[in-house]
């Protein structure tokens, strides 16, 4: 599926009309989004509650905060 | 100690602290890999640990804890062992004496010992002795009691005390004679073979228990003067898939004690829990325990039990994870992944791979065939735990929260992250950061 294809695999109607191909960013308005939520899970939960497909990536800032990050920058990992 | 601490790691300079920590951790892991643990003896506890001969000392699993904060199984075990030692006439008397401060409680770890679950160690119990022949130190652990209602899960009725008496009067002396008539059992070799046979040495010990039985049987037969007693001991050992666990634990303790007190090292030398607190010790931070509330295992329950029956995690057995076994070696044991509810057999390797991220190195002598002979993750580094935000994974048995009932399931649990962040803060403070 190209960025100009919609979720059913059909070519975008604007592209099919012979107009200039859409830039990738413009296709965001024409295809179903593929969503990956990084970090705070509340955003993903909100989408999921509305039936939107979303992948949650468990991530948090390295070292759990500025103080520990500073220590690690000195003692290494 | 045959290894010397390089002088370069004893006088830290602020501009190369990271390099010095790495050098110190390299030394720590070299000591782990150089260890030569051998099961050499079974001795009476007050012979192994002379301090137990005086007063009413009870050694327990985990970091230090008072009676008032002890969980149900720990209290049940203490009441039972006090009756066993003749210090109390009944379980009720024992509990009253404990509350009145008539017993001294100390961690096993403070006396070169370890114990599974409640981890009771008192003066008259037989203790297995694992000697680290590379460094000359010894570590102790009681003989595994078997399955069902046992003191390590807080059991304390007559059947439990009767088994302890049999271990003291029959099994211990026979094992002592057998081991003294042998060259000892090379535990490192047994574990290496066990890993190729599907054991991870915490919740699955069936292969190593069989290998140990094979090693000991000729020596037991040679010293026994009573065929019935010999048969009873062989059946006891052969009927207990977890018999090797306590040997593996003493092995872990014997490997990690020479790693203590290496200046600048951030390698974890002990992880342990008492059913209330989880504690870790770190090489360069002395005998200090870094503790946090222990977590509840997530796992599978035996028929008739649920998580409502479970006690929080407990025991010194996490010393096996500290040397790269148990949850760290899950990839060697797809069968145990199902037993502890850790997911599909194909997930087992992921646990081992994730533990590589928080360890300084791996152990080429303890390799996992199913992971293309990957060595088990070795040398938990508090820096990497904090940086990755990944806590050590532990395979564990689950005790009933009430004393006297026993094991109700098996699962996995994570070491609390606060232990590692607190230790890293203390390490930084020590360096003036």
Structure confidence at residue B14 (pLDDT): 53
Tens digit of each residue's pLDDT (9 = 90 or more) over B212-224: 999 999 999 999 9
Please state which CATH number belongs to domain B7-35+259-430.
3.90.1700.10
Task: Answer whether A57 touches B (CB < 8 Å).
Answer: no
Establish if A2 belongs to a structural domain: no
What token pair was written down for B223? 């010293």
Which residue range forms the structural domain that includes residue A52?
13-75
Tell me whether residues A68 and B427 touch, CB distance under 8 A. no
Burial (0-12, 13-18, 19+ Cβ within 10 Å), B421: buried
Query: Phi, psi at residue B197, to the nearest 5°?
Result: -115, 15
In DSSP terms, which residues pair with B290 in a beta bridge?
Answer: B280
**Average pLDDT score over residue span B126-150:** 96
Sorted by where each begins, the domain ranges of chain B are: 7-35+259-430, 37-249
Q: Tell me whether strands B37-44 and B126-132 are parallel, antiparallel or unpaired.
A: antiparallel
Tell me whether residues A68 and B421 touch, CB distance under 8 A. yes
Taking the C-alpha atoms of residue B145 and residue B396, their distance in angstroms, rounded to an integer, is 17
B16: distance to nearest CA of chain A, Å?
A: 8
Interface with A, mutate which of B16, B18, B361, B385 (most A CBs under 10 A): B18
Tens digit of each residue's pLDDT (9 = 90 or more) over B54-79: 999 999 999 999 999 999 999 999 99
Taking the C-alpha atoms of residue B405 and residue B338, their distance in angstroms, rounded to an integer, is 24
CA B427 to each of CA A19, B325, B424: distance values in angstroms, whole numbers, following the listed order: 65, 26, 5
A36: distance to nearest CA of chain B, Å?
A: 20
Taking the C-alpha atoms of residue A49 and residue B67, their distance in angstroms, rounded to an integer, is 47
Please state which CATH number belongs to domain B37-249.
3.90.1710.10
Cβ contacts of B389 within 8 Å, gap of 6 or more: A60, A62, A63, A64, B417
Q: How confident is the model at residue B138 (pLDDT cuts 50, 70, 90)?
A: very high
Largest pairwise CA distance in chain A: 61
Interface with B, mutate which of A59, A67, A74, A76 (most B CBs under 10 A): A76
Query: Phi, psi at residue B342, to the nearest 5°?
Result: -90, 5
Structure confidence at residue B2 (pLDDT): 41
Cβ contacts of B244 within 8 Å, gap of 6 or more: B144, B190, B194, B199, B201, B205, B208, B209, B211, B212
| Count of structural domains, chain A | 1
Taking the C-alpha atoms of residue B245 and residue A77, their distance in angstroms, rounded to an integer, is 32
Task: Answer whether B16 touches A (CB < 8 Å).
Answer: no
CA A63 to each of CA A49, B226, B265: distance values in angstroms, whole numbers, following the listed order: 31, 61, 19
Tell me whether residues A60 and B389 touch, CB distance under 8 A. yes
Chain B residue numbers with beta carbons less than 8 Å from the beta carbon of A67 are 425
Mean pLDDT of all residues belonging to chain B: 94
Q: How confident is the model at residue A59 (pLDDT cuts 50, 70, 90)?
A: confident
Task: Answer whether A38 touches B (CB < 8 Å).
Answer: no
Interface with A, mutate which of B428, B429, B430, B431 (most A CBs under 10 A): B428
> Measured between CB atoms, which of A63, A64, A71 is closest to B433?
A71
Structure confidence at residue A27 (pLDDT): 73
Query: Which carries the bigger pLDDT value, residue B5 or residue B363?
Result: B363
B398, B297 Cβ separation under 8 angstroms: yes
**Average pLDDT score over residue span B134-151:** 94
């Amino acid at each position: 599926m190209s960025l100009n294809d919609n979720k059913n695999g059909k070519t975008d109607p604007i592209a099919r009309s012979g107009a200039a191909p859409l830039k990738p960013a413009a296709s965001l308005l024409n295809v179903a989004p593929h969503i990956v939520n990084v970090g705070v899970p509340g955003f993903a939960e909100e989408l999921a509650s509305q039936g939107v497909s979303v992948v949650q990536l468990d991530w948090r800032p390295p070292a759990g905060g500025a103080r520990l990050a500073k220590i690690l920058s000195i003692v290494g990992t | 100690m045959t290894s010397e601490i390089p002088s370069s790691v004893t006088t830290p300079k602020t501009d190369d602290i990271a390099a010095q920590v790495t050098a110190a951790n390299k030394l720590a892991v070299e000591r782990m890999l150089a260890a030569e643990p051998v099961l050499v003896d079974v001795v009476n506890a007050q012979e192994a640990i002379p301090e137990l001969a005086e007063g009413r000392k009870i050694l327990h699993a985990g970091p230090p804890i008072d009676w008032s904060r002890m969980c149900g199984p720990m209290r049940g075990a203490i009441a039972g062992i006090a009756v066993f030692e003749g210090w109390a006439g009944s379980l009720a008397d024992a509990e009253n004496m404990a509350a009145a401060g008539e017993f001294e409680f100390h961690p096993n770890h403070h006396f070169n010992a370890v114990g599974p679950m409640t981890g009771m160690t008192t003066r008259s119990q037989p203790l297995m002795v694992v000697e680290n022949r590379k460094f000359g130190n010894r570590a102790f652990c009681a003989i595994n009691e078997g399955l069902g209602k046992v003191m390590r899960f807080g059991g304390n009725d007559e059947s439990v005390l009767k088994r302890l008496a049999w271990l003291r009067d029959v099994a211990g002396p026979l094992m002592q004679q057998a081991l003294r008539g042998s060259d000892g059992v090379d535990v490192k070799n047994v574990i290496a073979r066990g890993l190729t046979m599907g054991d991870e040495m915490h919740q699955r010990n069936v292969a190593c228990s069989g290998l140990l039985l094979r090693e000991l049987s000729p020596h037991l037969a040679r010293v026994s003067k009573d065929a019935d007693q010999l048969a009873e001991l062989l059946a006891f050992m052969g009927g207990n898939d977890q018999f090797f666990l306590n040997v593996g634990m003493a092995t872990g303790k014997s490997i990690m004690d020479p790693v203590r007190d290496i200046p600048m090292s951030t390698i974890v030398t002990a992880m342990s829990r008492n059913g209330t607190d989880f504690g870790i010790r770190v090489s360069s931070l002395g005998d200090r325990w870094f503790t946090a509330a222990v977590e509840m295992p997530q796992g599978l329950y035996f028929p008739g039990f649920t998580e409502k029956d479970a006690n929080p995690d407990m025991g010194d057995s996490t010393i096996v994870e500290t040397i790269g076994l148990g949850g760290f070696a899950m990839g060697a044991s797809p069968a145990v992944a199902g037993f502890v509810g850790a997911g599909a057999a194909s997930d087992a390797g992921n646990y081992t791979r994730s533990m590589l991220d928080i360890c300084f190195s791996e152990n080429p002598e303890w390799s996992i065939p199913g992971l293309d002979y990957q060595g088990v993750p070795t040398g938990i580094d508090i820096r990497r735990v904090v940086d990755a935000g990944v806590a050590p994974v532990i395979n564990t048995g689950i005790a009933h929260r009430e004393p006297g009932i026993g094991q109700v399931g098996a699962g996995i649990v994570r070491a609390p992250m606060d232990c590692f962040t607190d230790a890293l803060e203390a390490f930084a403070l020590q360096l003036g950061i």
